[in-house]
Structure 1
């Protein structure tokens, strides 16, 4: 059984993965919402947004099992939701800040 609070991504690779998230936020996220402390919603924009998001989510879930990623189509595109257990809200807070910064920079 996997430890649900584990992150097995080697420490040396974490800055690279964070950079991938930053590029994803900059290139494909048009808006963010935080309907609950444990849930971040990203409105995706662009034809490649969902496949790129799914790839990133799959790789992140493989090493950090506490993340849950879902993709929901809606009339304006796709919403990518990222959820974590209460004990990992600080990790989600970091992603949310970075996503919001990228969205603001896009204008």
Structure 2
């Protein structure tokens, strides 16, 4: 993605996602940017549970809440929980059903790759 193009795949937006196809690359790009800007670490707590450690500023929290709300509205298989894990840190927990572990795999890979590129 270093050439400015956004790569998408069928895992990121399976048939259960109701986001219009034309909008999917834009959403992926939003998540990728968020991961690059905010993710400090990623832990896979189980096959169905990913925990992202985020920078704790107010803008990161606002962006995380906005993205989580929009993604939940079109991809109901995602469950997001945002909590403050310290005065300068946020935690974003992402859970999926067993049928969508592959989607979480892709999300975890993207988050880890973006965080590692900083």
Q: TM-score, normalised by structure 2?
A: 0.82
Aligned-pair RMSD on alpha carbons? 1.3
Segments of structure 2 that go 5 or more residues without pairing to the other structure are 1-14
Q: Deviations over 1:69-101 (max 9, x none)?
A: 001211251100110001001111111001000
Which of 34, 47, 57 is residue 37 of structure 1 equivalent to? 47
Instruction: Provide the residue aligned with 1:12 in structure 2.
Output: 22
Structure with more helix by fraction: 1
Tell me, in whole angstroms, the C-alpha distance in 1 between the residues paired with 2:60 and 2:53.
Answer: 10
- Count how many residue pairs are aligned between Structure 1 and Structure 2: 102
Q: TM-score, normalised by structure 1?
A: 0.90
Shift of 1:6: 2.7
Detail structure 1 runs of 4+ shifted over 4 Å in the superposition: none
